Amino acid sequence: MAHRKTLLLLVLATSLMGSSFAVVQMGIRYAPPLFLAGLRFSLAGLILAFGIRQRPHPHDWRLWARVIAIGLLQTTGVMGAIFLSLQTIPAGESAILTFANPMLVVVFSAFFLGTRYRAVQWIGAALGLAGVAVAVGIATSDAWHLHIGVVYGLASAVFWAVATLLLKRWGPLIDSWVMTAYQMLVGGVFLIGLGALLEGPHFQITPASIIILVWLVVMASIVQFGAWFYVLHHEDPARASAYLFLAPVFGVVTGWGLLNQPIGVDVVIGTVLIVAAIWLINRMQTAVITNGSLLRATATNFEEQ
């Protein structure tokens, strides 16, 4: 990434993504996970929607349909799949499966969007995935068993990768803050509905629970998604998604700071691999998307309607 602003936004977004694991782990003492997630994104979406009411909103129902689709994928799909995976597999396995999505972004972008990546970038993506595996301790854990929890974990990565590519394709057609606000609101409402169906929804009100909820709503949702969507509007999705490899590392560090969870040598080794992966993926420019002119024409057509 060439621009310092973009780099800072990527580090901010990934640090908030990673730290949210520890904060949510603290928060589920006061509310069940799906319901807590629904509160988080519904409140964040409402607050942000109120704050951006003067920004240009779509007037075409097809654009609103795309906002809803992103909300169902990015918020309901990813968070719901993570929750379901955590019911049956350890958090470390769920994390590595979820954050496999940058590799999926490279694969999907190459096969479905015609983006051509150099061999060194494919090596970087694989190296980053290995670094995450080492950093979260998967390399030293028992052998995985392919069961429903693993399927849910993989589903979260697939949802995230698809949402990333769709945001790159649709993002120029919709104001980034409008997209951020309403996709969170849509996803949050669906999560509350799932929580009502699958859990006994409740929220224990204490000073600690209020602080946790406010942090999740403001920093881990509004600020995080705003920064992330802004980057996706201005950068290649595969290159931006490479930085998601940092999120589990931030999660481990935050877990150590807030929950006294130990940091081992595997985290240090994993971090070195992750930094190397980011350098490899970003050291060369990706080839021009073969249908890039079509995407620009599509955006122009919508603006003219």
CB 72 within 8 A of CB 187: yes
The amino acid occupying position 51 is G
- As a whole number of angstroms, the distance between CA 170 and CA 302 comes to 11
CB 238 within 8 A of CB 105: yes
CB 141 within 8 A of CB 90: yes
Residue pointed to by tokens 């995080």? 224
Q: How many CB atoms lie within 10 A of CB 209?
A: 17
Structure tokens at 275: 């930094």
pLDDT in tens, the chain (305 residues): 447 788 888 889 988 988 887 888 888 889 888 899 899 999 999 999 998 888 989 888 899 999 999 999 989 999 888 777 766 766 666 777 777 777 777 778 887 777 777 788 788 878 877 877 776 665 555 544 456 777 888 888 889 889 888 887 787 788 878 888 899 999 999 999 989 888 888 899 999 999 999 999 999 888 887 888 788 777 776 677 777 778 877 877 887 888 776 777 777 787 788 778 777 776 654 443 333 333 333 232 323 33
The predicted pLDDT at position 283 comes to: 63
The predicted pLDDT at position 305 comes to: 31
CB 27 within 8 A of CB 36: yes
Return left, alpha or beta for 226; rule: phi > 0 is left, psi -120 to 50 is alpha, else beta. alpha
The predicted pLDDT at position 292 comes to: 37
The predicted pLDDT at position 287 comes to: 40
Structure tokens at 46: 């409402």
The predicted pLDDT at position 298 comes to: 28
The predicted pLDDT at position 146 comes to: 54
The amino acid occupying position 60 is D
Q: Buried b / exposed e across 117-133, counting CB within 10 Å, b at 16+?
A: beeebbebbebbbbbbb
Give DSSP secondary structure letters for the chain. Answer: ---HHHHHHHHHHHHHHHHHHHHHHHHTTTS-HHHHHHHHHHHHHHHHHHHTTTSPPP-SHHHHHHHHHHIIIIIIIHHHHHHHHHTTS-HHHHHHHHTTHHHHHHHHHHHHS-----HHHHHHHHHHHHHHHHHTTGGGSPPP--SHHHHHHHHHHHHHHHHHHHHHHHGGGS-HHHHHHHHHHHHHHHHHHHHHHHS-------HHHHHHHHHHHIIIIIIHHHHHHHHHHHS-HHHHHGGGGGHHHHHHHHHHHHH-----HHHHHHHHHHHHHHHHHHSSPPPPPTTHHHHHHHHHHHHH-
The amino acid occupying position 170 is W
CB 257 within 8 A of CB 282: no
| Interacting residues of 147 by C-beta distance below 8 A, sequence separation 6+ | 88, 89
Residue pointed to by tokens 């998967």? 138
Structure tokens at 15: 């640090």
> In the chain, where are the structural domains located?
4-304
- Report phi then psi at 45, rounded to 5: -65, -40
